Amino acid sequence: MNVIGIIGAMEEEVNQLKDKMTEVKVRSKAGMDFYEGLFQERKCIIVRSGIGKVNAAVCTQILIDDFGVELVINTGIAGSLKAEINIGDMVIATDTLQHDVDATGFGYAGGVIPRMKTSIFQTEDTLNRLAYDVCVKANPDIQVFRGRVVSGDQFISEKEKKNWIAEQFKGYCTEMEGAAIGQAAYLNNIPYLVIRAISDKADDSAHMDYGKFEEKAIEHTVKFIEALVPVLK
């Protein structure tokens, strides 16, 4: 990979990453600041997309069109959909889908995007396995999982909705950007990775957990990215 795009959803996360860059140039587009430079001696563009699927997809397309990235890495925070995935753990996406796509009125299953060949956006197996191995070594104090990440323009904080998403879509965690990035990467035929640090349990305790664990989740993510970028080929 000659040019790597790294998309973060939160300002605090992106600030820690861009502060580790050298030879930095900043370009602004669509309300986003793209930091282009060297990260771990690799050419990277680091940007905060903002929250939600539209922001994430627009950001991904700009990275592809304007910066010629050959891999998109998306970091962020998510709510766990499995009892064994705890606050502070991390999930590496094997694939992504959008849980809030609903064309059932036209006869499609939930989550299916009409007139597309697929609505499940795979990450390359070799990449997600490499990411898993790197994350385990970089963060030995937490559990790391490989599995499906599901996305929607909703912050999930009710147990009933969490259980429905988990049962319907078999996800490991839920968040608001990853599958939009996956769809943009799929349409442009480039690889992508989604990594999520778990900050809450996506249930009635979500409002209590988020602020308390955000800082630790970002710390784990930054350690992971620092270890991953140098070994990408």
- Report pLDDT for 196: 95
Please state the φ and ψ torsions of residue 136, each to the nearest 5 degrees.
Answer: -60, -45
> What are the CA-CA distances from residue 113 to residues 59, 100, 121, 178, 183 (Å)?
21, 10, 11, 15, 10
Please state, in angstroms and rounded to a whole number, the distance separating the CA atoms of residues 172 and 221. Answer: 17
Please state, in angstroms and rounded to a whole number, the distance separating the CA atoms of residues 120 and 28. Answer: 31
- Report pLDDT for 203: 67
Instruction: With a cut of 70, say whether residue 211 has pLDDT above it.
Output: no
Ordered by where they begin, the domains of the chain are 4-231 (3.40.50.1580)
- Report pLDDT for 200: 75
Q: Which of 89, 95, 175, 200 is catalytic?
A: 200
Least confident of 59-68, 136-145, 185-194, 215-224: 215-224
pLDDT band at 18; cut points 50, 70, 90: very high
- Report pLDDT for 210: 58
pLDDT band at 24; cut points 50, 70, 90: very high
Instruction: With a cut of 80, say whether residue 170 has pLDDT above it.
Output: yes
Q: Whole-prediction pTM value?
A: 0.94
pLDDT band at 206; cut points 50, 70, 90: low
3-state secondary structure the chain: CCCEEEEECCHHHHHHHHCCCEEEEEEEECCEEEEEEEECCEEEEEEECCCCHHHHHHHHHHHHHHHCCCEEEEEEEEEECCCCCCCCCEEEEEEEEECCCCCHHHCCCCCCCCCCCCCCEECCHHHHHHHHHHHHHHCCCCCEEEEEEEECCCCCCCHHHHHHHHHHHCCCEEECCHHHHHHHHHHHCCCEEEEEEEEECCCCCHHHHHHHHHHHHHHHHHHHHHHHHHHCC
| Residue 71 structure tokens | 């891999």
Instruction: With a cut of 70, say whether residue 64 has pLDDT above it.
Output: yes
The chain-wide mean pLDDT, for the chain, equals: 92
Mind listing the pLDDT tens digit for each residue in 114-148?
999 999 999 999 999 999 999 999 999 999 999 99
pLDDT band at 202; cut points 50, 70, 90: low
Percent of the chain with pLDDT over 70: 95
Exposure string (b/e) for 80-91, b if CB count within 10 Å is 16 or more? bbbeebebbbbb
Instruction: With a cut of 60, say whether residue 188 has pLDDT above it.
Output: yes
To the query of whether residue 13 is one of the catalytic residues in this protein, the response is: yes
